[in-house]
Amino acid sequence: QKEVEQDPGPLSVPEGAIVSLNCTYSNSAFQYFMWYRQYSRKGPELLMYTYSSGNKEDGRFTAQVDKSSKYISLFIRDSQPSDSATYLCAMNPGGYNKLIFGAGTRLAVHP
Amino acid sequence: IAGITQAPTSQILAAGRRMTLRCTQDMRHNAMYWYRQDLGLGLRLIHYSNTAGTTGKGEVPDGYSVSRANTDDFPLTLASAVPSQTSVYFCASGLVGGDTQYFGPGTRLTVL
């Protein structure tokens, strides 16, 4: 079993929809949780960062962490075609910030 | 513009050849990383360095070597390339003790 599980999709939604992306993990030592966005043929870019449990909002994006369920989510409101990308969750078990990545979910937002 | 640069952008290589992928950052981050990204497997750590002069092995280090002579540069070498090393390679940097990493644009490598 992988330490971090993420549904690869693809996920296709109409413009304006609310998108929910999720990851589950098995290591209870994870404290830091990140979402990266990766456009086709580009490097991943940091989108959201959350420490421990709770919610964090940044514009149309909300990151949610439920450590009791070992489950994290990224919500995108009013999705736009420019949100079409692969979204990778990543977690830090602490120490020398070795990130553990999910496989990524490919999202397509169509006009 | 601050960030990470990688070279080459893409490369086709014959099996058995030696290849060095270059990575340079100008953010003065002490930690640097090399990942490979394969479909369905996500990003897997190859090697890392927490400071100049030190390196460590990641999840998939076999067939790869790195060096860290200074803060800015972190080259990745394939001594004798094999087809299973066909992948997209990303260099990243961050602060030791920090929680995030910043990625370069990647090198797309094909080994025939």
According to the model, what pLDDT value does residue B11 have? 97
Q: How many CA atoms lie within 13 A of B4 on its CB side?
A: 29
B102 contact residues in A (CB cutoff 8 A): 46
From chain B, pick out residues whose CB is under 8 angstroms from the CB of A43.
Answer: 4, 90, 103-106
Q: How far is B42 from chain A (nearest CA, A)?
A: 4
Beta sheet of B64-66, edge-to-edge order: B4-7, B19-25, B76-78, B64-66
User: Could you tell me the pLDDT band of residue A96, with boundaries at 50, 70 and 90?
Assistant: low
Mutate: best of A99, A100, A105, partner B, most B CBs <10 A: A99
Mean pLDDT is lowest, of A81-90, A92-101, B13-22, B51-60, for A92-101
The predicted pLDDT at position B53 comes to 94
Residue B30 to residues A74, A92, B50: CA-CA distances in angstroms?
Answer: 29, 17, 6
Distance (Å) from the C-alpha of residue A15 to the closest C-alpha of chain B?
26
Q: Tell me what percent of the residues of chain A surpass a pLDDT of 70.
A: 96
Name the residue in chain A with its Cα closest to that of B48: A98
Q: What is the mean pLDDT of chain A?
A: 91
Instruction: Please list, in sequence order, all residues whose beta carbon lies within 8 angstroms of the beta carbon of residue A32, skipping any fewer than 6 positions away.
Output: A49, A50, A51, A91, A92, A94, A97, B99
Is residue A102 within 8 Å of B56, Cβ to Cβ?
A: no
pLDDT of residue B100: 79
Mean pLDDT, to the nearest integer, of A18-40?
93
- What's the pLDDT at A95? 62
Sheet of A19-25: strand order equals A4-6, A19-25, A71-76, A61-66, A54-58
Three-state secondary-structure class, residue B93 = strand
The DSSP-derived string for A30-91 is --EEEEEEE-TTS--EEEEEEESSEEEEETTEEEEEETTTTEEEEEESS--GGG-EEEEEEE
Distances (CA, A) of B46 to A13, A27, B34, B64: 35, 21, 5, 8
Contact A34/B99, CB-based, under 8 Å?
Answer: yes
In the chain, the amino acid numbered B19 is: M
Among A43, A92, A101, beta carbon nearest to B99: A92
| Alpha-carbon gap: B32 to the closest alpha carbon of chain A (Å) | 10
Q: What is the mean pLDDT of each run of 10 residues along chain B (112 residues)?
A: 89 97 95 92 91 93 97 97 97 81 94 96
Is residue B72 within 8 A of residue B27, CB to CB? The reply is: no
- Give pLDDT, residue A97: 59
Do A103 and B103 lie within an 8 Å CB cutoff?
Answer: no
Report residue A106's pLDDT band, with 50, 70 and 90 as the boundaries.
very high
A104 touches chain B (CB under 8 A): yes
pLDDT value for B103: 94
